Amino acid sequence: MEVICLIYGIPSLLLSLFFLKFLSRAEFKYSFYRLLQCDITLNVVCYLNGWFTRFSNWSVTIPMMLVIYENVKVVLKFTPYFVNFFFNAQAMSVIFLSVHRLTTILYITANEFWNKYYLPIYLLILLLSSIPCIHAYSIDGLPPSTFNYAGGVFVPTPLDPVKRELQYKIFFVLSSIFFTIILIVNVLTIFMLVKRLKLSNNTTSQSQKLRRNLTIITIINSSIFFIVFLWNLFGDKTLGREFWVASMYILSDALSLSLPYILLAFDQNVRKTLKTVTGSNAVKFANYLGYASSSVHHRTASIISVI
């Protein structure tokens, strides 16, 4: 499973890193792209953090993780808390992306507001996301795995049933709140967009396409988180832990690495700019090849004339 995750994960990670730089171009002045850059950054760090757990379960990388376990144990100690932290942070980031779309429909000055305050907002996301982790740490609610030297594998540390039940309830309540907010905000966004288009008598095919694309993006933003939420709750009990863990790898990656693909599929501005960038680079490369070919030809002719 880890090999499969690497096959699609590495190209997707590189694409995400490319989009961090790509969205800084002058064509993307709209505040929504600043939030996207913050969201992608958050997702990339979340994705990389998840590999500490995966490498601990992969026989090929267990020796490497054992070195970390024996020398830098604090890294593995905090990994479960970071997993919890990033889940909360990703959910809040999706909420703020949805709130951005809603406010820019309702208020003319919303774009100016988001351009000015998007960084403090994401700092607030990080702060709020750390609160459940601090609570879990205070009660030792997410203990790290320990290494079984006899079996040569990392094994989960047994957790007190009372603490486990408390952590489950906190996760369920927070996840329910996150999903409810995401769903309500996205539904309001669609409703207000349709209402605004009707008031402006804009019934062109472009407007219809805008509505359709926004609906698709809304469904994707909500459904990916919703699937992860449900699978976290019921997947282990339904299909067994081994299959659940493997499937959670893929679902977690979908939550962390899907945004560039969503933009490529549904953002015409992204596709147009990317086409311009790749087209101009292709022209430069072709011109370079032409220049190199001409230089070689000229040198060859000169040598022949000398001979």
Distance of alpha carbon 16 from alpha carbon 256, whole angstroms: 9
Q: How would residue 109 be classed by pLDDT, with cut points 50, 70 and 90? A: very high
Distance of alpha carbon 184 from alpha carbon 167, whole angstroms: 26
pLDDT of residue 122: 95
Distance of alpha carbon 185 from alpha carbon 24, whole angstroms: 27
Q: What is the pLDDT of residues 130-158, one digit of tens each?
A: 999 888 888 888 888 889 988 888 888 88
pLDDT of residue 212: 64
pLDDT of residue 241: 67
pLDDT of residue 214: 57
pLDDT of residue 289: 45
Helix H or strand E encompassing 155: strand 153-155
Mean pLDDT of the chain: 81
- Is pTM, for the whole model, over 0.95? no
Task: Indicate the length of the chain as a whole number.
Answer: 307
Q: What is the pLDDT of residues 248-284, one digit of tens each?
A: 788 888 888 988 998 888 888 888 888 888 876 644 5
Q: What is the pLDDT of residues 41-81, one digit of tens each?
A: 999 999 998 888 888 888 888 899 899 888 988 888 888 88
Contact indicator for 187, 99 with CB cutoff of 8 Å = no
Mean pLDDT comparison of 78-82, 244-248, 283-287, highest-scoring range:
78-82
